[in-house]
Amino acid sequence: MDSTTPLFAYTEQDFVCEVDRASGEPTTHSKFDLALRSGWKEAMSRGLFRYHLGELETRVLSGEAGYIAQLNIQRGIERRKPQEILSIRQKFDPKQFNFNKINPEEVLFEICRADPRSAESCHQNGATTGSCMVIINVSPLEFGHSLLVPEPARCYPQILIPLAVQVGIESVFLSADPGYRVGFNSLGAFASVNHLHLHGYYLNHTLRVEWAPTEPLVPEKCVYRLTGFPSAFMLYTEGQDPAGTAAAVCRLTDILVDRNIAHNVFMCRGCPPSSEAGPSGLRRGVRVCIWPRVSCFGSKEESAFNVALCELAGHLPFKNREDFNNIDEDGVKAIVQRYVLNDQHFTDLQQVVVGQLWGGLAK
């Protein structure tokens, strides 16, 4: 990457301890929000995206799930053709498109956790360590849609590592906007590029995963099952030990990779697992939801929307107006059901994961 790339160094002192999930846009932005939003807007004004993203037509589907449907026809047409994926453990191929080949102008900034005594502690001997590049997604699904790419020159395949998860969690804590979310698609779960990256974007609507009820699995380790449809593993943190949470997430996803199970991950501000809070109120912590799912290798795409990280969380970018206008909650669930594990399959996997990772603590 270009040596002139701006550096966004942060410490825990930059974390926003709580955000208010009230209606409307937040009245204040953090330093992280300002850097991301201003850089993204400038890139849009300079024509660096494949299409201009204005305010998307949006409707909330009636029903318990509260699905947020958005019409984004251009993304379905203009996004880069996905690479051929044959395995969840597919090796990185330098001949394929990767984020070392992008236009340098697409890089917004480099982000890393710094020693509070020195903003230059991210750099050692001229090399960047433990950092991520924040790159615009040239086919955005919402405002601010960017990619977090950890140490791009190391050419990691699309398998989660603790650094990626930690930066993802911490970027949510760096934002003062409850609508900022981060997610990950594994190979076989509609990841289109086999070069490790997470997605970050803003969505100014409440999603049910922020407050949905849970069942304790290993409460001592803040591990729960997100109940309802579709079921997910959920880890919760209020920022005391992001590295520990990131390591736990990766231990879980490593089991999925070893068993060749595709998965999607979604990180957002959320209520504590034991709370009775609803759609409104304060969000002091971050929920990390992990959906094991049916793998898709070379399968035909859905006409309405593909089932990946944002769709499982309840945000539905539609490819065409007909489906956008006509679908209801039952129609959405019928599509999603084709890609997620049924309750019995999930429960069987849950026993394996909890037993293998936290057997002595499982409830």
pLDDT digit of tens for each residue in the chain (363 aa)?
A: 556 899 999 999 999 999 988 766 676 889 999 999 999 999 999 999 999 999 999 999 999 999 999 999 988 777 777 778 889 999 999 999 999 999 999 999 999 998 654 444 455 433 334 789 999 999 999 999 999 999 999 999 999 999 999 999 999 999 999 999 999 999 999 999 999 999 999 999 999 999 999 999 999 999 999 988 899 999 999 999 999 999 999 999 999 999 999 999 999 999 999 767 677 788 999 999 999 999 988 766 788 899 999 999 999 999 999 999 999 999 999 999 999 999 999 999 999 999 999 886 666
Catalytic residue among 197, 199, 263, 315: 197
Residue with tokens 């750099």: 123
Distance separating alpha carbons of residues 168 and 262, to the nearest angstrom: 19
Q: pTM for the full model?
A: 0.94
Q: Tell me whether residue 315 is one of the annotated catalytic residues.
A: no
In contact, 346 and 231? CB cutoff 8 Å: yes
111-136: b (≥16 Cβ within 10 Å) or e: bbbbeeeeeebbbeeeebeebbbbbb
Tokens (6 digits) for 278: 């609803």
Q: Which domains does the chain have, with CATH numbers?
A: 9-358 (3.30.428.70)
